[in-house]
Structure 1
């Protein structure tokens, strides 16, 4: 029996999926794969309407919880030489770069010469820009917004001291200047924000410094809402600030590590108070462990980490000076699942808060370790990474635009 002509096989197309069903499908697209939703928005006006609806974007963020890691930022040191013999000159400079770990590419910050990335938090990145008219630049890599910040006179004294133009290369390398060490952090200042979508909101930049000669530790805060720096506050207790160290934020308190890796500085933004406290020592440890560095916050607790041989040690403590009494080793990871060359000479160089991912610099390159699953992944081939700042953010702004190439 011959088949009926095509026109007679069935004149009805499969029924279109209702909007609610499509929304449920889109909700399940992984948050670290934003390009899929960008492309879906370009398919038809119905899909674009669903994806660009404010209710859907809020549901999407609520469904996935913590913002995904779209990539990480790092600094690399470079040297340029020119001339010959006695006339040969050298220039040392820093390049900051963004490395994507998802289907996200940010034209706002791919690679910047003479920009040093200091911190990344709440969808914002803080750069020190010594070769520009301003001292700092804050970037939102998703919206491409950029804010230029000039340091106040007091803050300039922290950053530059008595430096001359000839000293700028050394200052860019964060070499100590007249006994002054410093670091800075950026954080969202939006009222009652859950930090899943901080774009377009106000932010703060906290600058913390230490003066060895005067024996004081001091701090000042820049507010994007007012465009001004606060008055400098200080305490007569001094510990050199770890200028390449990580910072941590719990509520309205910002934490900085000191160079001795034992002392932590707390700056209470609301109370405008500075406190220094020592992290406790694990007396039960039967091996001589190297220094444990502050790497971030996990479940509302300050997280410290160190490596001994092929083992990764993690500790946590309640934020604040009183938290030193509530110290506990969180976990020991014996021989993370890494290639043999990567198991020794490891160092912890970063932590992605909210998703529990640690960055390890090894002889085989840069790896991530998921604390919950133990899964590892090589994310970069560089074997000398000193510090990694993960970039965490939902990429909902661009869903209504046409997809861009990698």
Structure 2
């Protein structure tokens, strides 16, 4: 008589801190990895949705990825958010986001929409990762000339890895037509979520700086200077410290196809497709002489013919333009005859994002982690912290090394979670065929 089958011992459970170290090394271009891991068990869900996990992501990777972009194209067949990562993932959409809400900015974990763009009376601030939203009335001084706006985190020294849910501010820029004196004023005001009020309106007297379309970009430089691309060749500067407004011209005063960006030195830059084969980048150089204005310097030329596939480049640059620069991620979005491409400025790698064509898009730059919806209780006897201990990191590297081939094959999340679930089913019984 055959002996009874020997009972197999349960596999040793990995400590939480080791699981965290493994998850931290999932490819940033595969947000669905963390999402799928969070669905395996309550324990894994808690590990990847904890705010501390976002902090560790920032400490390890430093630079968040460009997850995709929001756009203003009125097409029900195209999702409002288009992912630029290798795998798709869900975002917590606003409860109500009709097509007449125009997205104009996204920064520090928040997207900003103008409601009824031409005659905006309300702003919508939306956190793509958490789904939280706030509605803010426009300043009382605003009438009906086309505005623009930008959102940012005001916390001094914040690294912005986890400032979602915290305080925010909005810079609202608009033109005022003084009919009594036949003068135009360009005005700006800052809203604080902490006080729930708009600050004093700053204005400069000049020909009105207008934003007649939502195709214009903005950029934050040195944490204190906002720049807005206006109609024509105008660039508007707003100083967050002094609340002063100033105006400067783009490198070519006869074209309006520039997009703002952060230059390699951290200062103001612009970029433009000036030739079917060339993407040109300029940087603004301040003058040492107080009596002399600064100047634009051509700092770099990227030959798109070496990066984009055949057929993507049109016969003229009119159908190809820079749509937006993704701050922090240092990525430029370019539209071509073949669709939208991203260009990483550091590596000059190009990647096709989608087949559709857009005239306006706003990048979403953030670390993606599943939203923590539940107040999960802590496990009894669990130790707090400890993820930085040397032995834990060393063991994590050893285990992570075993998955290198799976990463190269683009199948790490499936291999890891499939192995985990297979082990569980082998021990406790059942089938482990599932689709991910």
**TM-score between the two structures when normalised by the length of structure 1:** 0.76
Q: 2:232 aligns with which of 250, 260, 264?
A: 260
CA contact (8 A) 2:171 2:190 kept: yes
Pair 1:34 & 2:31 matched = yes
Q: Which runs of 5+ in 2 are unaligned?
A: 377-434
**Which residue of structure 1 lines up, in the alignment, with residue 267 of structure 2?**
301
Secondary structure at the aligned position of 1:272 is classed as: coil
**Which residue of structure 2 lines up, in the alignment, with residue 389 of structure 1?**
362
Secondary structure at the aligned position of 1:113 is classed as: coil
Q: 1:47 aligns with which of 44, 49, 59?
A: 44
Shift of 1:36: 2.1
Query: 1:13-32 maps to which residues of 2 (within 5 A)?
Result: 15-32=12-29
**Which residue of structure 1 lines up, in the alignment, with residue 124 of structure 2?**
137
Q: How many residue pairs end up in the alignment?
A: 355
CA contact (8 A) 2:92 2:130 kept: no
Normalized per residue, the structure richer in strand is 1
Classify 1:115/1:346 alpha carbon distance in 2 versus 1 (closer, same or farther; 3 Å). Answer: same
Paired with 2:206 and 2:262, the residues of 1 have a C-alpha distance of 25
1:365-390 deviations in whole A, cap 9, x for unaligned? 2222222333322222223x112100
1:115-150 deviations in whole A, cap 9, x for unaligned? 111111111111111299952111111111111111
CA contact (8 A) 1:298 1:356 kept: no
Pair 1:278 & 2:275 matched = no
1:186-227 deviations in whole A, cap 9, x for unaligned? 112233212222201111111112357513221112221111
Classify 1:389/1:318 alpha carbon distance in 2 versus 1 (closer, same or farther; 3 Å). Answer: farther
**Which residue of structure 2 lines up, in the alignment, with residue 74 of structure 1?**
71
Pair 1:97 & 2:80 matched = yes
Secondary structure at the aligned position of 2:80 is classed as: strand
Shift of 1:349: 0.7
1:63-109 deviations in whole A, cap 9, x for unaligned? 12122222201112579xxxxxxxxxxxxxxx992222343222415
CA contact (8 A) 1:209 1:219 kept: yes
Query: 1:6-405 maps to which residues of 2 (within 5 A)?
Result: 6-7=5-6, 11-12=8-9, 15-77=12-74, 97-102=80-85, 103-109=88-94, 112-130=98-116, 135-155=122-142, 157=143, 160=144, 180-211=145-176, 213-243=182-212, 244-250=215-221, 251-261=223-233, 263-279=234-250, 293-299=258-264, 300-307=266-273, 308-317=275-284, 324-325=294-295, 327-344=297-314, 345-383=319-357, 385-396=358-369, 398=371
Paired with 1:310 and 1:101, the residues of 2 have a C-alpha distance of 23
Secondary structure at the aligned position of 1:398 is classed as: coil
Paired with 2:280 and 2:116, the residues of 1 have a C-alpha distance of 36
Larger RCO (CA under 8 A, 6+ residues apart):
2
1:297-341 deviations in whole A, cap 9, x for unaligned? 245222311111221111223589989347341333241422322
CA contact (8 A) 2:217 2:229 kept: yes
CA contact (8 A) 1:222 1:230 kept: yes
Shift of 1:50: 3.5
Paired with 2:194 and 2:45, the residues of 1 have a C-alpha distance of 33
Classify 1:46/1:364 alpha carbon distance in 2 versus 1 (closer, same or farther; 3 Å). Answer: closer
Paired with 1:148 and 1:96, the residues of 2 have a C-alpha distance of 22
CA-based RMSD of the aligned residues comes to 3.5
1:30-56 deviations in whole A, cap 9, x for unaligned? 234333223323434543454345444
Secondary structure at the aligned position of 1:136 is classed as: strand
CA contact (8 A) 2:169 2:193 kept: yes
Classify 1:153/1:319 alpha carbon distance in 2 versus 1 (closer, same or farther; 3 Å). Answer: farther
Shift of 1:254: 1.0
CA contact (8 A) 2:54 2:367 kept: no
1:161-190 deviations in whole A, cap 9, x for unaligned? xxxxxxxxxxxxxxxxxxx44321111223
Paired with 1:298 and 1:35, the residues of 2 have a C-alpha distance of 32
User: Mean Cα displacement is larger for which, 138-147 or 34-43?
Assistant: 34-43
CA contact (8 A) 1:265 1:276 kept: yes
Secondary structure at the aligned position of 2:294 is classed as: helix
Paired with 2:362 and 2:101, the residues of 1 have a C-alpha distance of 14
**TM-score between the two structures when normalised by the length of structure 2:** 0.71
Secondary structure at the aligned position of 1:235 is classed as: strand
